[in-house]
Structure 1
Amino acid sequence: MSYRAMPKVELHLHLEGGAPPAFIRGLAKEKNIDISGIFDEQGGYLYRDFEHFLQVYEAACTTLTGPEEFRRLTLAVLEESAAHGVVYSETFVSPDFCGGGDVGAWREYLAAMVEAADEAERTMGITLKGIVTCIRHMGPEQAKTAAKCAAETKGDFIVGYGMAGAEMVGRPGDFAYSFDMAREAGLRITCHAGEWGGPDMVADTIRDLAPERIGHGINAIKDLALVDQIAEQGIVLEVCPGSNVFLNAVPSWEAHPIAKLRDRGVKVTVSTDDPPFFHTTMTDEFDMLARTFGWEEEVLSELNQTALDAAFCDDKTKEAVAKRLAAG
């Protein structure tokens, strides 16, 4: 059995990281940009490890030179998501890739993304919301610029603020100012932690940035007292098993801690992270969870409900998405 047709909620998806390789190759050809070195013989993305992945990711983004490209990108990503049953998605978007952090330019990029999201909702039945992310390895000062863009454009589409990038650069507290800016503007907070860093990185992120959700968070499993704290505080983990296995953050699906975290009371959700980079889809994630842990439709539906409860959108949107989940 495949769970392809099952309606799904996804909370951890990088917009640029969702770009189909053929889409990026097409843009590169249009613009005469030579990034042929980032693709393998089969046409997929090619990289050696996580650090190289970040370089390939940023090379792919060089083709995204204006709002129109981001409109097309958003449609391409949502088409892929909708084909795998996703009815609600939250995507990470960075002003650093959309106008270099200039608020005026960011508004133009954002308008293009919103236009595409509205079209996709009408034609594909998928709702998209955006979470502005600063890029960790660009440093705390650049994070303040991203937070300003987020604060200035908070609204129906931009609902949250977070941080992605190279997790081992700096400590969470270095970025506290930008997170405080976003929180004061009324944005909901998430943050990548515990994919590569140990449980101490997760603990510091919780203490210094006070997120409602944590991206990945899987290395919390190495400190069961911390796992219990996460469960008690109701912090939701945006777990991306296929990504973790592909990048060797864990050695195998069987070794992935998602089941242990859930069994200990942690609220876990499932997402694809950067699906074409990691050769995964939401269908693959659900199918592998069923195959590896014996999770059947009841458990997978519970994951969807946990994700919807943790979504940063408003109640009206949640009610509409709940109907789509029920209809499936």
Structure 2
Amino acid sequence: MSMRDFPKLELHLHLEGAAPPAFIRGLAREKSVDISGVFGADGGYAFRDFGHFLQVYEAATSVLTTPEDYARLVTAVLEESAANGVIYSEVFLSPDFCGGSDVAAWREYLHAMQEAAARAEARDGIVLRGVVTCIRHFGPERARAPALCAAETAGAFITGFGIAGDETAGRPRDFTWSFDLAREAGLRLTAHAGEWGGPVSVREAIADLGVERIGHGVRAAEDPRLVDQLAETGVVLEVCPGSNVALGLYPSWQRHPIQTLRERGVRVTVSTDDPPFFRTSMVREYEELARAFGWEAGDFLEIARNALDAAFCDADTKGRLADRLKDHPT
């Protein structure tokens, strides 16, 4: 089985975090901006720990300042995803980085990104949808503007709302206003939790924000009762094993809890999070999981079907994607 050819659906991908280093370097060069400090000797992104990763991430993002920049970014990211066999992707989009969360400016950025996504779909067959995120460590008051941007542009392309950033900043209940607004606008909900915040952060995100998916969520494995709750309620985990290993959350792929969670009945999916930062790709995720746990085509098809069921897209799109999964031999 070719891991590259296997059809993949990715639910947890930060658009700026997926920017190839060469793309960011080139953009910085065009704008005469010095961001050399974000790169290592090999030309890739360099950071010491999670806190430093957030600083490097925001420094790299600082060169993305116009709708055209984001259109070019979408093109670059989707080319890489399609080359890894991804047929459907949901990207986290932060209005904080796109016009300062001003609704009018956000619409301009969004229009540019949608046009780039449409060109990529016509060229490579990859389908893109957007999940707007507020940034947790920016605080709950500042989260209201991105939520408004999401609510004002909810539709066929913007289909979800979530929260990203430093899990240790504040509590999920601090952001209920923003999530209530997004829910009332018809958006589907997800939240980063259970990575650095531990099992309690997963419980709180579900109870206080009413999310149907959890970004990461792997620390739930430390609480058997929470694992049972996830299995019983069908809350889906957007698992990013390569990210977790790269950031030192687990010492190796073999020690990652994704297989344990699956065995306990939790619905898991596989994504790359911020692939160039963590030196990964969807192909590498699949290859490492096959090596670590002996996963075969049937296992990866189950993962893809979990992602399809949990995807924040309309029924017609899901039908077309389901047909593409059926066409792949197991």
TM-score (norm 2): 0.98
Give ranges in structure 1 of 5+ residues lacking alignment.
Answer: none
The whole-number CA distance in structure 1 between the counterparts of 2:237 and 2:211 is 10
Deviation track 1:55-110 (CA, whole Å, cap 9, x = no partner) reads 01000111101000000000000000000000000000000000001000000000
Q: How does 1:210-221 map to 2 (within 5 A)?
A: 210-221=210-221
Deviation at 1:2, TM superposition (A): 4.4
Q: How does 1:18-33 map to 2 (within 5 A)?
A: 18-33=18-33
Deviation at 1:327, TM superposition (A): 2.5
**What is residue 150 of structure 1 aligned with on the other side?**
150
Contact (CA 8 Å) 1:199, 1:219: kept in 2 or not? yes
**What is residue 48 of structure 1 aligned with on the other side?**
48
The whole-number CA distance in structure 2 between the counterparts of 1:46 and 1:2 is 31
Deviation at 1:42, TM superposition (A): 1.1
The DSSP-based 3-state class of the residue aligned with 2:41 is coil
The DSSP-based 3-state class of the residue aligned with 2:27 is helix
**What is residue 240 of structure 1 aligned with on the other side?**
240
Deviation at 1:52, TM superposition (A): 0.5
Deviation at 1:250, TM superposition (A): 1.3
Deviation at 1:5, TM superposition (A): 1.0
Contact (CA 8 Å) 1:2, 1:283: kept in 2 or not? no
**What is residue 91 of structure 1 aligned with on the other side?**
91
Work out the number of aligned pairs and report it: 328
**What is residue 103 of structure 1 aligned with on the other side?**
103
Contact (CA 8 Å) 1:133, 1:161: kept in 2 or not? yes
The whole-number CA distance in structure 1 between the counterparts of 2:34 and 2:190 is 35
**What is residue 58 of structure 2 aligned with on the other side?**
58
The whole-number CA distance in structure 1 between the counterparts of 2:262 and 2:184 is 31
The DSSP-based 3-state class of the residue aligned with 1:115 is helix
RMSD (CA atoms): 0.7
The whole-number CA distance in structure 1 between the counterparts of 2:327 and 2:67 is 35
**What is residue 286 of structure 1 aligned with on the other side?**
286
Give the letter aligned to residue 257 of structure 1: P
TM-score (norm 1): 0.99
The DSSP-based 3-state class of the residue aligned with 2:312 is coil
Q: Structure 1 residue 206 and structure 2 residue 206: aligned?
A: yes
Give the letter aligned to residue 319 of structure 1: G
Give the letter aligned to residue 11 of structure 2: L
The DSSP-based 3-state class of the residue aligned with 1:77 is helix
Give the letter aligned to residue 157 of structure 1: F
**What is residue 299 of structure 1 aligned with on the other side?**
299
The whole-number CA distance in structure 2 between the counterparts of 1:17 and 1:324 is 28
**What is residue 321 of structure 1 aligned with on the other side?**
321
Q: How does 1:7-18 map to 2 (within 5 A)?
A: 7-18=7-18
Give the letter aligned to residue 297 of structure 2: E
**What is residue 135 of structure 1 aligned with on the other side?**
135
Give the letter aligned to residue 108 of structure 2: E
Give the letter aligned to residue 112 of structure 2: A
The whole-number CA distance in structure 1 between the counterparts of 2:298 and 2:202 is 29
The whole-number CA distance in structure 1 between the counterparts of 2:60 and 2:162 is 22
Give ranges in structure 2 of 5+ residues lacking alignment.
Answer: none
Deviation track 1:255-305 (CA, whole Å, cap 9, x = no partner) reads 100001110000000000000000000000011111100110001011000
The DSSP-based 3-state class of the residue aligned with 2:133 is strand
Deviation at 1:325, TM superposition (A): 2.0
Give the letter aligned to residue 248 of structure 2: N
Deviation at 1:198, TM superposition (A): 1.3
The DSSP-based 3-state class of the residue aligned with 1:40 is coil
The whole-number CA distance in structure 2 between the counterparts of 1:180 and 1:231 is 25
The DSSP-based 3-state class of the residue aligned with 2:46 is coil
Contact (CA 8 Å) 1:217, 1:239: kept in 2 or not? yes
Contact (CA 8 Å) 1:117, 1:128: kept in 2 or not? yes
**What is residue 195 of structure 1 aligned with on the other side?**
195
The whole-number CA distance in structure 1 between the counterparts of 2:168 and 2:298 is 37
**What is residue 173 of structure 2 aligned with on the other side?**
173
Deviation at 1:249, TM superposition (A): 1.2
Deviation at 1:326, TM superposition (A): 2.2
Give the letter aligned to residue 233 of structure 1: T
The whole-number CA distance in structure 1 between the counterparts of 2:28 and 2:325 is 38
The whole-number CA distance in structure 2 between the counterparts of 1:190 and 1:245 is 22
Contact (CA 8 Å) 1:2, 1:287: kept in 2 or not? no
Give the letter aligned to residue 234 of structure 1: G
Deviation track 1:125-144 (CA, whole Å, cap 9, x = no partner) reads 10000000000000001111
Give the letter aligned to residue 289 of structure 1: L
Q: Percent identity?
A: 66
